[in-house]
Amino acid sequence: MTDAISLIRAKRDGQRLADDDIKWLFEAYARHEVADEQMSALLMAIYFRGLDGAELRTWTAAMIASGDRLDLSSVGRPTVDKHSTGGVGDKVSLILAPLVAACGAAVPQLSGRGLGHTGGTLDKLESIPGFRAGLTPDETLAVLASVGCVICAAGSGLAPADRRLYALRDVTATVESIPLIASSIMSKKIAEGTSALVLDVKVGSGAFMTSYERARELAETMVALGEEHGVRTRALLTRMDVPLGRAVGNAVEVEESVLALQGHGPGDLMEVTLALARQMLALAGLAGDKAGDPAAAIADGRALAVYRAMVRAQGGDPDAPLPQAAHTQVLAAPASGWLTGLDALKVGIAAWRLGAGRARKEDDVSASAGIICLAKPGEAVQAGQPLLELRADEPERFGPALAALEGAFAVSDQGPPPALSPVISEVGPA
């Protein structure tokens, strides 16, 4: 007979877990016959010993089977979604979902809220007056069918085992395990019922994965899981050493997203967004369609129209003024020359300290707090020129934020640094 202690001991000693044992584990955990302490011990054993491909496939399937699975067959369009591993200034979803919908696909984007220095898509959208992120499954399907895209919170019925496991990983220092990250992300994405998925795996100082090797391993693991579960999956590795775009926060990123949909987005943000859009449309079978040109959908206003329709369908007012911070402060260039670096992690932590992020899931976030990057690496600056504009609701937040920005940027008189594409490489099925 299977029992939790035997499974913990087996994984601790480097043995593989049988499919039936993994299925039993999740069923028993759902019945509260396996204690959180025992599951925590097993997660730590997995952190050190890993899961092989077959174990991970069964582990992920058991997480999916712990709850409901959305049926998107009634939508009437090819479905495709995108997931980002999180970064600083990463407002891509706000632009990408309506953009891909404007090209003929249906985009069921079930997103989350931010924790730590990386902002959450739902936090950004909830800075729009009236916007509702908490939709029922029926409401989600209705918005998806009528507009072509929806960005909302994953319902409690999708992969509920993941919520319990993530809470344990968060307090037991087992978050960084690649198999556990991959199963957490992919169980929710597979359960949402999409036919295809593009992953944006961030690499760099402001990313969860700071090394290219680890990021690529995570991308390959998630692509394999998606394909094994019948979801056409691709990944792009993209840079996160510098904030993406110029705005970091919540309302300020909504503002920048609308500018991008109007055709005025920063170059790095648009390069990543268009690269992901092309991948999504290819997987949805729409790349050769005349209507499936994402750049054209921005130029002719279709993407912006879909965004506005989505905001309205979710209770928001796309014309309402966005929240504005009561206080601002600028950080100036110490010398003249070329800006050669702007550390994404330090900027993200500073924005968090200004109120744009949360330390715990139950914390509130400020809609108006954030940072505007008035200069980006590669640009010429003059001594005393404002580089960053900090925004906060309470002036006492500036001190801790400025401390986080110590050493965040570098100015050189040696000429501009070489321009690097924000898109590093593509990962497809093995």
Of the candidates 182, 200, 214, the residue with the CA atom closest to the CA atom of residue 90: 200
**What whole-number distance in Å separates Cα of residue 283 and Cα of residue 267?**
24
For 317, half-sphere exposure in the C-beta direction (CA atoms, 13 angstrom radius) is: 7
**What whole-number distance in Å separates Cα of residue 28 and Cα of residue 323?**
47
Tracing tokens 């919540």 back to the chain, one arrives at 250
- Asked whether 306 and 258 are in contact (CB, 8 A), the reply is no
Of the candidates 406, 411, 389, 393, the residue with the CA atom closest to the CA atom of residue 349: 406
Residue tagged active-site, from 11, 82, 91, 169: 169
Residue tagged active-site, from 82, 83, 113, 353: 83
Active site residue 83: yes
Residue tagged active-site, from 117, 188, 239, 358: 188
**What whole-number distance in Å separates Cα of residue 289 and Cα of residue 246?**
32
Task: Tokens for 98, please give them.
Answer: 């309506």
- Asked whether 226 and 81 are in contact (CB, 8 A), the reply is no
Q: What angle do CA 162, 166, 170 make, to 5 degrees?
A: 180
**What whole-number distance in Å separates Cα of residue 199 and Cα of residue 427?**
9
Active site residue 169: yes
The secondary structure of residue 135, as a DSSP letter, is -
- Asked whether 77 and 252 are in contact (CB, 8 A), the reply is no
Each residue of 307-327: b (16+ CB within 10 Å) or e? bbbbbbbbebebeeeebebeb
Q: DSSP letters of 219-242?
A: HHHHHHHHHHTT-EEEEEEEE-SS
Active site residue 319: no
- Asked whether 130 and 149 are in contact (CB, 8 A), the reply is no
The secondary structure of residue 37, as a DSSP letter, is H
Of the candidates 154, 175, 145, 162, the residue with the CA atom closest to the CA atom of residue 83: 154
Residue tagged active-site, from 184, 195, 257, 368: 184
Q: How many helices (H) and strands (E) does the chain have?
A: 16, 13
Active site residue 188: yes
Sort residue 415 into left (φ over 0), alpha (ψ -120 to 50) or beta. left
Residue tagged active-site, from 81, 162, 268, 293: 162
Q: Which residues contact 110 (CB under 8 A, 6 or more apart)?
A: 81, 152, 153, 154, 158, 188, 189, 192
Q: Which residues contact 3 (CB under 8 A, 6 or more apart)?
A: none
Q: Which residues are catalytic?
A: 83, 162, 169, 184, 188
